[in-house]
Amino acid sequence: MNQDGPIACVPWFRVVAESPEWIVVSKAAPLIVHPSNGKSEPNLLQGIETLLCYEVANGMKAALINRLDRETSGLTLIAKTPTATRQLGRAMQRRQMHKEYTAIVYGHPAWEQTVCELPILRQGEVMETRIWLKQCIHPQGKKCRTEFRVLRRFTRNGEPFSIIRCIPLTGRTHQIRVHLATLGSPIVGDKIYGPSEDCYLEFIHKGWTSELETRLLLPRHALHACVLDFPFDEELIHTQDELSPDLEEFIAGADRE
């Protein structure tokens, strides 16, 4: 892959909330959450262990509770102790965590609020695919549900865009991205579910190019995990995060109304 330019922005994270048992951080794109495919590159788990090096030296073992895609920014929860790992893991399995995302999509949806309950599975299970991870809507897929609400409509260089609040009530792979694309509102910068999956294949082979910038507008998909609520020790913990700077900058480029 051509490494002349970054995928999106410098790998970075900051602490949003912390206790002796857990820590919530906001990660930037394209920071991966854990080591992947044997590649040597910065990752969130490594960063957390470096930040908490004293606790690690005293036996702490960090465990990721929720995982975000490389190109998704926002809130991530990490347990510090075995007790927290078990408790938070159970809460995740029982769907007791509330998550909200903000997405920037192409176009102005005809709806103000809607719910998508179309089932999703990996496309390769039912048809040939050039992208192993690509998901699709299919009746044999797993049940899933996402609630959507339009927060704002705007234009940029005369082209329509919208800011959407997304609330996934299940946690399927690429759920929000697939549901929005199916609804006719693909996420800006999405290399797989946006203008064409050819964008993803070109990116894999050539890296970020001027041609891709023209087609995708952003070097990563415009999806940010902005709310994460979870139960812990009989208390509901609420965490919230501002939209990432690169997405704020994109919105700031809106045409004057």
Measured distance CA(58)–CA(61) in Å, rounded: 9
Res 21 pLDDT > 50: yes
DSSP 8-state class, residue 139: T
- 5 vs 19, higher pLDDT: 19
> 13-252 sits in which CATH class?
alpha beta
pLDDT of the residue at 10? 45
H/E run at residue 90 = helix 82-93
Report the helix count and the strand count for the chain, using DSSP H and E.
7, 12
pLDDT of the residue at 11? 55
The residues assigned a catalytic role are: 69
Of the pLDDT bands very low, low, confident and very high (cuts 50, 70, 90), residue 257 is confident
Measured distance CA(55)–CA(60) in Å, rounded: 5
CA dihedral 22, 23, 28, 32 (to 10 degrees): -30
pLDDT tens, residue by residue, 106-131: 999 999 999 999 999 999 999 999 99
User: In this structure, which amino acid lies at residue 154?
Assistant: F
pLDDT tens, residue by residue, 56-83: 999 899 999 999 999 999 999 999 999 9
Res 38 pLDDT > 80: no
Res 5 pLDDT > 80: no
Residue by residue, DSSP assigns 27-81 as EPTT-BSS--TT----BHHHHHHHHTHHHHHTT---EESS---TT-EEEEEEE-S
Measured distance CA(154)–CA(163) in Å, rounded: 8
